[in-house]
Structure formats: C-alpha cells, structure tokens
Homo-oligomer: A and B are copies of this chain.
Amino acid sequence: MNELIIPVDAKAGTPLYQQICEYFKQEIQEGRLTAGMRLPSSRALAASLSVSRSTVDLSYGQLVSEGYIESIPCKGYYVCQIEGIYFPVQEKERKAEPEKRDFQGKERYRYDFAMNGIAPDSFPHNTWKKLSKQVLSHTGEELFNLGNPYGEISLRKAIAEYLYQARGVHCTPEQILVGAGNDYLLMLLCTILGKNKKVAMENPTYESAWYDFRHMGYTMCTVGQDDQGILVEDLEKTKAEVVYVMPSHQFPMGTVMPLKRRMELLCWASSSGSYIVEDDYDSEFRYRGKPIPALQGFDQADCVIYMGTFSKSIAPSIRISYMVLPKRLMERYQKAGHPFSVTVSKVDQKIVELFLKDGHYERHLNRMRSLYKSKHDRILKWLKEDMGRVCTYSGENAGIHLLIHFRNGLSEQEAVKRAKEVGIRVYGLSEFMVNGQVPPEEATILLGYATLDEKDLQQALQCLEEIWT
C-alpha cells in the first residue's frame, strides 16, 4: 500500500488530518480496505502526501479511537475486524415535517374560552426583565453549579412564608419540593409513595393529573361529588390509598369544599392511613371575600400533600410549581438517598424568589384579580340579563372560568358545535370526564375567560347569545 494516493487539499475547509481520516473510513466502509490489512507507516504516508508526520499520527490516532484500525506495537496499524458494519446514509431525512396544526392538533379559533392561559399582556414583563437582569449580573459560580435537588432553600423559605400568610399552609421550608410543573411533581410524588397505589379522583376532574397517575402505573378510580365536593362515604368504599382533590375550587365544577366536608376528608385520611393531594391551583383568584384557607392548614395527621403553582398566577410557560410534603413523606424521600436533580433552573428560582420577597407577587396578583374580576362580572351580567331565560350558572366568584347549564333543551354537543361554526371554542363538560364515563344529562358548558381581552369577550358573548337562544 505504499503507493497510496490520498486526495488531500491543504486549502480545503476541513483540516488535513480529517481528510485523511475520512478517506480511510470510506475505504473501510466500502470494503476496499478489509480487516487485517496493514496501513502505510505514518512516516511513509506523510512523505507520499507531503504532509507532516504529526498530521498522519493525528489521523491514525482518531481512527484508532473510533475503532476502525488498531495499532500493533512494533508492527504498525491494521484495519480492524468489525462485524455487521453498516453506515448511515448522509442527509437521511433530517427535515422536520411541517406543522399543520399546533402540537395538540388544535385548530385556530376566532375566540377561545380556554382555561389554561393567562390574560394577554398580563405577564409582568418589566419586573421580570429587571429581576432577570439583576440575577444574571451575579457572576459568582454559585449561580451555575448544580443546585439543591429539592430547590434552593432561599426560594423554599419565600414560598413557605407566602403559603403561611396567603393560604394558611403550615410547613417548614424543608417540607417543600420545587419542580417544573404539576405533571412532574406528581411523577416525583409517585416515586416517593411507591409502586402500584390506588388513587381516587372526582369525575369530572383535572384530567392531566388522572393521566399522570395512570402513566406512572397507578390504579385509578372515580368517586362521586355533590355541591360540597367529593363524597367521603363513596371514597371510603373505594379503599383508595390516595385521593386527589381541589378543595378551594374544584376543576372543572368550580365547587368550594366547605369546612365540614374538609374535616370529614381529613378524618377519612387519618383513620385509613391514606394521603390527600390538595391541588390549590387557582386559589389566588377569588372575587368575593378573601381566599379560603387551604385544607393543609387543618391537617393534624401529617397526611396532606399540598400542591401549588405559578402557572395560573404568573404564566404557564415559566414551569415552576411546588409541593409541600407531609414530614413523614419528606423523611422517606430523604432517607432513600440520591434524590432526583431539581428541574427548575437556578436563575428562574432566584427570579421567583425575588418576585415573592419584594412584594411584586402581591401587587401582580392584585392586578390580575381586578383584571379577572372585571371579566368575571361581565360574564355574570350577561348570564343574568341576557341568558337568564335559557340557562343557569355556577362556579362563580372564583378562578378563571364559569359553568353554564342549559335549561332550553340545547345539548352540550349542539352548543359546542354551534359555537364552532361561528369560530368560537367553548368547552363541554364531557371533555373533562375520565374513565369513559359521561356527564349528567343536563348540558353544561365551561367558559374560561383568562385569555380573552374585554373587547373580544364582549363580541364573543354577543355571538354566543345569538346562537344559543
């Protein structure tokens, strides 16, 4: 092989050593150089190509590293025996297929009464930018090291303080786990609770949580609810080890669980040794009176797992939620060792911490509340004055959606269909039913009002009135 001519070009974009590598790789891949063949010595090859010997050494080193050739001491370089070698075709379908719809297959609507967004322009842009700049100005390595797996303690202190004052939650910062969204926290919770548990949920319910538990391999069951929330007697019969509830504002029914039912639920948990997951997702928004304290604050048996999020109050895209574990569960997680790394960046944790501490959050919530209350009142007025003949409503005074119950024989399906025909997306109650069950016969439609601005809301309501009455 001493007469080997390799087409190297010192002026080409790729370095010489790489050109040599590529040449040999191709020869081997295409079968012209086969296992056991000896390559020219680096001295000879360097001379024949008029390149430096170190260039050839570098090429050979790379080929050895990648396993194409091997070096036999005092003998030279030989092509390796490689079974089943096959090589990827270059440029193999790298292009993404075009996105015809959004990722959920959603079509675009003129007006969308969605329940999972925030008011347009309500994100606290200026504050966030200012805090972000402030945080990123710290150049200390602390900001870039892997952080506390449970979340930075300073953020957890700020959350504990907020939860105590605003929600009546009683916990130490050490009971808090910070995570990137509720789905993630539920996943994490399942690993702490252990395999194969049975979880009870109301129906209709927050379906994401239902599917999170299912994906984690848990057994699921549904329990009835009335206008005070989950039916504890029914719950007892299921023998569930965990129940998932939203006492401040059940999604999607909008029910507020009164104290009596809460006490019954706590009593069930403590006597059966079960856990209650309290999802307090939108308790910040209440338009009459002050927010109702969390169930967790009444828990004496260390059995409530409290979940909160900044998705509803700041923005869904920032991916910061938290979970307050009962002490015994936190201890179990700590004792198991090797916790999962935190899922929220340190920069974001610091921004939220400052947002909470410096009073920005409180001011922001007040602004949001007044924004939402105005829209809430607008819909309520419409329901009373313009729609009173055909429907009743429920779930008012809290959250960011209302429920309409038709009394004029209009079916849910028909109501949704008619709205769609005029470019309006409304949500039928059956969309939130799990376990293959169907909702009660009465047609119920949900109207979320967070993401529509006042003008659009006004127009959408007018349209709906025309097509529904």
- A positions within 8 Å CB-CB of B: 17-18, 21, 58-59, 61-62, 64-68, 80-88, 92-97, 99, 102-103, 116-118, 120-121, 123, 125, 128-129, 132-133, 136-137, 139, 141, 143-150, 153, 156-157, 160-161, 164, 168, 170-174, 179-184, 187-188, 191, 195, 207-208, 211-212, 215-217, 256-264, 266-267, 288-290, 292-293, 297-298, 300, 311, 315-320, 336-338, 340-348, 397, 451
Minimal Cβ-Cβ distance residue in B for A195: B217
Cβ–Cβ contact B298 & A86, under 8 A: yes
Residue from B117, B128, B171, B260 in contact with A83 in the complex, judged by beta carbons closer than 8 Å? B260
Give CA–CA (A141, B453) in the complex, Å. Answer: 12
Residue from B267, B290, B347 in contact with A318 in the complex, judged by beta carbons closer than 8 Å? B347
Give CA–CA (A247, B227) in the complex, Å. Answer: 59
Residue from B87, B121, B173 in contact with A96 in the complex, judged by beta carbons closer than 8 Å? B173
Give CA–CA (A182, B341) in the complex, Å. Answer: 8
Interface of A is mostly: loop
3 closest residue pairs by CB, A with B? A67-B258, A67-B259, A62-B289
Residue from B21, B258, B343 in contact with A66 in the complex, judged by beta carbons closer than 8 Å? B258
The minimal Cβ–Cβ distance linking A189 to chain B, given in whole angstroms, is: 12
Cβ–Cβ contact A290 & B340, under 8 A: no
Cβ–Cβ contact B139 & A125, under 8 A: yes
Cβ–Cβ contact B146 & A136, under 8 A: no
Give CA–CA (A340, B179) in the complex, Å. Answer: 13
Minimal Cβ-Cβ distance residue in B for A311: B146
**Chain B residues in 8 Å Cβ range of A341:** 181-184, 208, 319
Minimal Cβ-Cβ distance residue in B for A342: B319
Known: A80-B259, A168-B88, A348-B348. A181 touches B116 (CB 8 A): no
Cβ–Cβ contact B298 & A87, under 8 A: yes
Cβ–Cβ contact A129 & B133, under 8 A: yes
Give CA–CA (A180, B344) in the complex, Å. Answer: 7
Give CA–CA (A85, B132) in the complex, Å. Answer: 45
Residue from B132, B212, B288, B337 in contact with A58 in the complex, judged by beta carbons closer than 8 Å? B288
Chain A to chain B contacts (Cβ below 8 Å), 11 pairs: A17-B289, A67-B257, A88-B170, A94-B172, A96-B157, A125-B139, A184-B341, A187-B188, A212-B340, A215-B336, A317-B345
The minimal Cβ–Cβ distance linking A313 to chain B, given in whole angstroms, is: 12
Give CA–CA (A347, B66) in the complex, Å. Answer: 38
Minimal Cβ-Cβ distance residue in B for A150: B103
**Chain B residues in 8 Å Cβ range of A125:** 136, 139
Residue from B145, B191, B289 in contact with A216 in the complex, judged by beta carbons closer than 8 Å? B191
**Chain B residues in 8 Å Cβ range of A118:** 144
Most buried by B among A93, A118, A311, A319: A319
**Chain B residues in 8 Å Cβ range of A93:** 172
Give CA–CA (A116, B144) in the complex, Å. Answer: 11
**Chain B residues in 8 Å Cβ range of A103:** 148-150, 153
The minimal Cβ–Cβ distance linking A416 to chain B, given in whole angstroms, is: 20
Cβ–Cβ contact A164 & B256, under 8 A: no
**Chain B residues in 8 Å Cβ range of A86:** 298, 300
Give CA–CA (A290, B15) in the complex, Å. Answer: 10
**Chain B residues in 8 Å Cβ range of A21:** 289-290
Cβ–Cβ contact A80 & B129, under 8 A: no
Minimal Cβ-Cβ distance residue in B for A149: B103
Give CA–CA (A427, B297) in the complex, Å. Answer: 45
Cβ–Cβ contact A61 & B318, under 8 A: no
The minimal Cβ–Cβ distance linking A67 to chain B, given in whole angstroms, is: 3
Cβ–Cβ contact B141 & A117, under 8 A: yes
Give CA–CA (A298, B183) in the complex, Å. Answer: 34
**Chain B residues in 8 Å Cβ range of A64:** 258
Cβ–Cβ contact A96 & B172, under 8 A: yes
Residue from B80, B160, B338 in contact with A208 in the complex, judged by beta carbons closer than 8 Å? B338
**Chain B residues in 8 Å Cβ range of A67:** 257-262
Minimal Cβ-Cβ distance residue in B for A89: B170
Give CA–CA (A336, B170) in the complex, Å. Answer: 38
**Chain B residues in 8 Å Cβ range of A262:** 67
Cβ–Cβ contact B183 & A340, under 8 A: yes
